Chains A and B, each alone.
Chain A
Amino acid sequence: MSLNFGFFKTSLRIICANRLAATGALIILLFVLLALAAPTMMRLHLLGDPNQLNLNGLDKDGMPRSPGHGYLLGSDNLGRDVLSRVIYGARVSLLVGVASMLTATLIGVTVGLLSGLYGGKLDLALMRFTEMNLTIPSILLAMAFTSLIGDNGRIMHLHPAALPWHFLDVTLKRGLLSVFLVIGFVSWPGMARIVRAQVLGVKEREFVLAARALGASHWRLIWRHLLPNILPTVIVLAAMTTANTILLEAGLGYLGIGVPPPAPDWGTMITEGQPYFATAPHLVIVPGVAIVLTVLAFNVLGQGLQEQMGPRQRP
């Protein structure tokens, strides 16, 4: 299946046909657009600097300002613009969430495919390993991984050097890469088990035998006949997994072992705002709502896609 225009048209049709999926996709699209536009908006002075310490941001008692007062969503204890921080936080959350989802999908699909396809002792070993992973709470495993990884930092340019597309820049402060790898490495077991079950079903279907009878090689069977037929499941799982990875990322941030400060991260923002909850509840509520909305959006998208594409898989 080539990634041509028809593929996107089909995807769009599937998403639009289901109200749940459309709602989820719309919210995600909104967050993605805001996250992409953030640096541009800042340059045009539509948005404050998320990391600018600003005395004007504090009231005469040195306390955070509540929403209004020149700050749409108020300011935090260091006088930084909460709206700006939440939007910049979306960059971190979405990037880490999607990157960990891709990592988890890559591992999960590979393990599930090998397990389902070859069966026998390999299946036994891989599935016991997967179940072992499932028994450990992912946040604990992620904490353990995080404490193992060292701290490095650099800026990643996702655009070609010749083009000044700086909105694609990703600040890979110490931790961003490690955080998404860690989250990816703890999020794959569920995916592996479901992919295995799907492969077990699809590989017994007659068209696989028919392709084998025509002399198709192992790789061809996997790429042309197995993977395309489990793709709907993988897409649904990917959407659901993204909800989990974003939640996990926020959780790690909250525990102070996520993407390190001063990077605006939703989890970190909640931790920092917690002491001021009585006087400035917006410091906790705003990032909290952002997390809930994003996670909900991905879950709802996944659920909508599942309704639309299953239980009978349609082409």
Chain B
Amino acid sequence: MPWLEIRNLQIHFGRAAKALRAVDGVSLSLEPGKALCLVGESGSGKSVTALSIARLLTSPPAVYAGGEILLEGRDVLHMRAAELRQIRGGLVSYVFQEPGASLNPVFRIGNQIKEALQLHRPEVATDAEVIRLLRLVGIPAPEARLKSYPHELSGGMQQRVMIAMALAPQPKLLVADEPTTALDVTIQAQIIELLVQLRQQLGMAILLITHNLGIVGDIADDVAVMYAGQIVERGPAQELLQRPLHPYTQALMNSVPRLDSETERLSTISGSVPRLGAFPSGCRFHPRCSIARSDCSQAAPPLVEMEPRRWVRCPYWTSPA
């Protein structure tokens, strides 16, 4: 059994008939020390999936309507509050998008990291351990930084502090929810570099949520592409990036700017992501799909293993030229 296994997860917002199905039948698995990338546009359900691993969505309005999330064989969706507090941080830690907003503005960063230690490793909740963590995430002169307030640090430094906080309880999985979106490009590269390096050093698994395909190849072992609450394609990172099979993934790859081609205009995907609760019938991508056929609007295609380890939710998939 995998270390983390999500089976047929259903997450709705609101109740009964008016429920919005944000996540509809997502299945994922992750082995210790592996890195999985969850790729998708805004509103595809990738963040909701990630937050549900430690049951962080507040309910209501979120409803865990079905499926299971097995963490070391235990179902997170049926844990008691005390158990949840143990796994939050202890097994699964999170790094969020806006480092500035994720740090409490009224406390010095040293105290905030120490709080994370007090929650899970109270015996080492000391300045020395905080300094060690700050050094681990590459913050220069950590002794001097202990007494800094979050607003005194740059965005990149704030994100490093967030990572230090997330690492403090020594989790086995680090969930990074678009950790670089709010940062500028050079800092993005540094943070991704740091995550890669920490993963090798500490041997923890990483679940990276992103809509930036450019950083996927740098870090991921596996990739899952999400669209409208479902996984449309899943496979090993290098293969999937070089040879995407689902028309949506292919379209996404074509819209990434490349240095090695002569094209002047980037290709785009026509239309926009369907609104939550107004998904098209049949295949949810068919109105925007370049290879859609008439029956695509009728039957919803299942996610099928089309080639070894390559799962695709499209019966008419083609290998790119």
A and B: interacting chains: yes
A residues lining the B interface (CB < 8 Å): 1, 120, 205-207, 209-217, 220, 224-225, 228-229, 231, 313, 315
Q: Which of A213, A229, A313, A315 contacts B88 (CB 8 A)?
A: A213
Name the B residues within 8 Å of A207 (CB-CB): 101-105
Q: Which of B89, B98, B106, B107 contacts A206 (CB 8 A)?
A: B98
**A214 pairs with B102, CB closer than 8 A:** no
**B106 pairs with A229, CB closer than 8 A:** yes
23 inter-chain pairs at a CB distance below 8 angstroms, sorted by A residue, are: A205-B101, A206-B96, A207-B102, A207-B104, A210-B94, A210-B96, A211-B104, A212-B56, A212-B88, A213-B93, A214-B88, A214-B89, A214-B165, A214-B166, A215-B84, A215-B87, A215-B88, A215-B119, A217-B85, A225-B104, A228-B107, A229-B105, A315-B105
Name the B residues within 8 Å of A213 (CB-CB): 54, 56, 88-89, 93-94
**A215 pairs with B106, CB closer than 8 A:** no
In the docked arrangement, what's the CA distance between A213 and B101, Å?
14
**B169 pairs with A313, CB closer than 8 A:** no
**A210 pairs with B106, CB closer than 8 A:** no
B221 contacts the other chain (CB 8 A): no
**How far, in Å, is B106 (CB) from chain A's closest CB?**
5
**How far, in Å, is B101 (CB) from chain A's closest CB?**
4
B residues lining the A interface (CB < 8 Å): 54, 56, 60, 84-90, 93-94, 96-98, 101-107, 115-116, 119-120, 149, 151, 162, 165-166, 169
Most-contacted residue by chain B among A206, A207, A212, A229 (CB, 10 A) = A207
Name the B residues within 8 Å of A228 (CB-CB): 104, 106-107
Name the B residues within 8 Å of A205 (CB-CB): 101
Of all chain A residues, the one with the shortest Cβ separation from B149 is A315
**A214 pairs with B98, CB closer than 8 A:** no
Most-contacted residue by chain B among A206, A213, A228, A315 (CB, 10 A) = A213
Name the A residues within 8 Å of B87 (CB-CB): 215
Name the B residues within 8 Å of A209 (CB-CB): 56, 94, 96, 102
Name the A residues within 8 Å of B97 (CB-CB): 206
In the docked arrangement, what's the CA distance between A205 and B162, Å?
15
Name the A residues within 8 Å of B116 (CB-CB): 214
In the docked arrangement, what's the CA distance between A231 and B106, Å?
10
In the docked arrangement, what's the CA distance between A212 and B85, Å?
8
**A214 pairs with B104, CB closer than 8 A:** no
**B151 pairs with A215, CB closer than 8 A:** no
In the docked arrangement, what's the CA distance between A120 and B149, Å?
35
**A210 pairs with B165, CB closer than 8 A:** yes
With A206-B98, A209-B96, A315-B151 in contact, do A214 and B119 touch (Cβ < 8 Å)? Answer: yes
Beyond A213-B54, A214-B120, A214-B165, list 16 extra A-B contacts (CB 8 Å).
A206-B98, A211-B104, A211-B115, A213-B56, A213-B93, A213-B94, A214-B115, A214-B169, A215-B86, A215-B87, A215-B90, A216-B115, A224-B107, A224-B115, A229-B104, A313-B105
Q: Which 7 A-B pairs have the closest CB atoms?
A: A215-B88, A214-B89, A206-B101, A213-B94, A215-B89, A215-B85, A210-B102
Most-contacted residue by chain B among A214, A217, A231 (CB, 10 A) = A214
With A210-B96, A210-B165 in contact, do A215 and B120 touch (Cβ < 8 Å)? Answer: yes
Name the B residues within 8 Å of A210 (CB-CB): 94, 96, 102-103, 162, 165
**How far, in Å, is B273 (CB) from chain A's closest CB?**
23
In the docked arrangement, what's the CA distance between A207 and B94, Å?
11
In the docked arrangement, what's the CA distance between A313 and B103, Å?
14
**How far, in Å, is B155 (CB) from chain A's closest CB?**
14
**How far, in Å, is B247 (CB) from chain A's closest CB?**
35
In the docked arrangement, what's the CA distance between A228 and B89, Å?
23
**How far, in Å, is A4 (CB) from chain B's closest CB?**
13
In the docked arrangement, what's the CA distance between A214 and B91, Å?
10
**How far, in Å, is A219 (CB) from chain B's closest CB?**
11
**How far, in Å, is B159 (CB) from chain A's closest CB?**
12
Most-contacted residue by chain B among A215, A217, A225, A231 (CB, 10 A) = A215
Name the B residues within 8 Å of A225 (CB-CB): 104
Q: Which of A214, A220, A231 contacts B93 (CB 8 A)?
A: A214
Name the B residues within 8 Å of A214 (CB-CB): 88-89, 93, 115-116, 119-120, 165-166, 169
